[in-house]
Chains A and B, each alone.
Chain A
Amino acid sequence: MSAPILVDARGLEPPAPFEMALEAVADLGAGGSILLLLDRMPHPLFRILERDGYAYTPQIRADGAVEVLIERR
């Protein structure tokens, strides 16, 4: 399995991080995954990921940044 595609959307004003995440998800090939880096938990994104059949694993890093691993279900 290949390494996740890194999408660093920290330091951007909403909804730019949201848009970057959606674009990356739209380009995601079968078996691929995305590691999304953000300043905060992207609650609105989770609903869309659930609706569109993606699994996601969020976690808060020690430096306060949020990592979300997104994979096709």
Chain B
Amino acid sequence: MSGANPGLGYDATPPFSAPLRFFLTAPLFGIAAGLLLIVDGGLLASRWTPGTLALVHLLAVGFLLQIMLGALIQILPVVAGITLTAPLRTARLTHIGLNLGAIGLTAGFQFGRPSLLLGGATFLGLGVTGFLCSAALAAIRAPKTRMASHTPRDLRLALGGLTVALLLGLSLVLELGLGRGAPLPLAVAVNLHATWALLDWAGLLLAATSWVVVPMFQITPAYPARLTRYWAPTVTVLLAAWSVALVANVTTLAATMSVCLIGAATGFAVITLRQQARSRRSTPDASFRAFRLAMLALAAGAALLAFPHPSDADHWPVLAGILILHGGFGGATSAMLYKIVPFLAWLHLTQAGIKAPNVKKLLPDVRARTQLRVHAAALATLLAAGLAPPLGPVAGIMLIVEFVFLQLNLVHVVRKWRAHLPRAGLSVTPA
């Protein structure tokens, strides 16, 4: 028999080069973030300095968004039955828009140039909108089949979160560049944008992916059914209620919703840690340990936001941002990359009828382990710099080492993959 895979589109698996271009470009933005910390050493003194905004967007857009969109091009057809009609063209256009956008946006923040900010936002907006439209069209055309997991629904919710975060971000750039943004106090607009981007986009995407990837690669039991069923819709509803309360200045409701959202984020991290503790894996590998560190960082970052601080010093939100952005999402993303990229290289070789080497040969665990130790050291140094901003250049050096190492590891996999391709098929970007 055949056709036993209802709604799943492996026949339409996009070429490896479609996600790969995102994965190979992303570490360059991490390196740029390190350079920025060296050049502008004291920028971690506050979340509001232009340098901090540039740094955050280098990591959030240049690194995280880049990898997340690249991964989605691969994941959507496989787990959600959403097959982009032209995955390679979508990948090319999104990649160009996102990279020009990330460069323009960060340069605009760093140098205080509204024209760069507006230009960057335009490219980023076009790139992400193109991706969203392509995904939405594919979702409408996708066969309506019942899926066993909630991942497809949660991926759709995450894409909705990305849309809201993008619109809020564009409004902020219009306000900063032309004074024509949404009629909201700047701090409110920034908090809305950051929370939708981190929680309803990145958070939902991380959770939706974890429902599948954590049991599969970390050999854990499945997540509790009630968690996977209700977590993402609950977060979206709470976030919408929090946003309305914030805009309407209903402070009690906003504070209550805020505590609920922090609880939901912490709950996801804690349950993931519990799942990992129940893994049947005899020896945790590098990716497993990195994912555990990422969950601890997410929970710690959420705790920093939740509890009253002993002072009103500027460093508390900076520390929370470092823990969530670099420690949580950055760590989880790197951990997943180390599973996904060698697996995809292996899968594409095998599906092409080529005898593929073992994934451990495509990327030896020792390489990933060493890089992820540098990631942990970079996180510690960043936190130290959050408390003592003059340490910024040291943290910058650590970030550069971390991302250069990541880049080298990814290139190692690609070289191994290419070495096994027949000579006529050496092109990384098949037409």
Contacts and interface: CB of A to CB of B under 8 A. Distances in A.
Contact of A56 (B1, B215, B217): B1
B4 A46 contact: yes
Contacts of B350: 15, 18, 22, 44, 48
Contacts of A43: 5, 8, 10, 78
A57 B1 contact: yes
B11 A47 contact: yes
B347 interface: yes
Contact of A47 (B215, B281, B351, B358): B351
B280 interface: yes
A13 interface: yes
A14 interface: yes
A18 to B, nearest CB: 7
Contact count band on A: 20 to 34
A43 B217 CA distance: 16
Contact of B351 (A11, A19, A44, A58): A44
Contacts of B78: 43
Interface in B281-307: 281
Interface string B1-34: 1101100101100000000000000000000000
B4 A40 contact: no
B281 to A, nearest CB: 8
Interface in A14-60: 14-15, 18-19, 22, 39-41, 43-44, 46-48, 50-51, 55-58
Contact of B2 (A13, A18, A56): A56
B2 A46 contact: yes
Contacts of A47: 10-11, 351
B184 interface: no
Interface in B336-355: 343, 346-347, 350-351, 353
B359 interface: yes
Given A46-B4, A50-B2, A15 B219 contact: no
A46 B351 CA distance: 10
A41 B351 contact: no
A13 B365 CA distance: 14
A22 to B, nearest CB: 7
Contacts of B219: 11-13
A48 B343 CA distance: 16
A15 B347 contact: yes
B216 interface: yes
A55 B5 CA distance: 13
B211 to A, nearest CB: 12
Contact of B359 (A15, A51, A64): A15
Interface in B214-236: 215-217, 219, 222
A64 B215 CA distance: 13
Contact of A15 (B2, B4, B222, B346): B346
B426 to A, nearest CB: 22
A64 B217 CA distance: 17
B343 A14 contact: yes
Contacts of B1: 55-57
Contacts of A58: 4
A45 to B, nearest CB: 9
B10 A46 contact: yes
A68 to B, nearest CB: 8
Nearest to B347: A44
Contacts of B215: 39
18 contacts: A13-B216, A13-B219, A14-B216, A15-B346, A15-B359, A19-B358, A43-B5, A43-B78, A44-B347, A47-B10, A47-B11, A47-B351, A48-B351, A55-B1, A55-B2, A56-B2, A56-B4, A57-B1
Given A15-B359, A44-B10, 16 more contacts: A11-B219, A11-B280, A13-B217, A14-B343, A15-B343, A15-B346, A15-B347, A39-B215, A40-B216, A43-B8, A44-B347, A50-B2, A55-B1, A55-B2, A57-B1, A57-B4
Interface of A: 11-15, 18-19, 22, 39-41, 43-44, 46-48, 50-51, 55-58, 64
The 3 closest A-B pairs by CB, nearest first: A58-B4, A43-B5, A47-B10
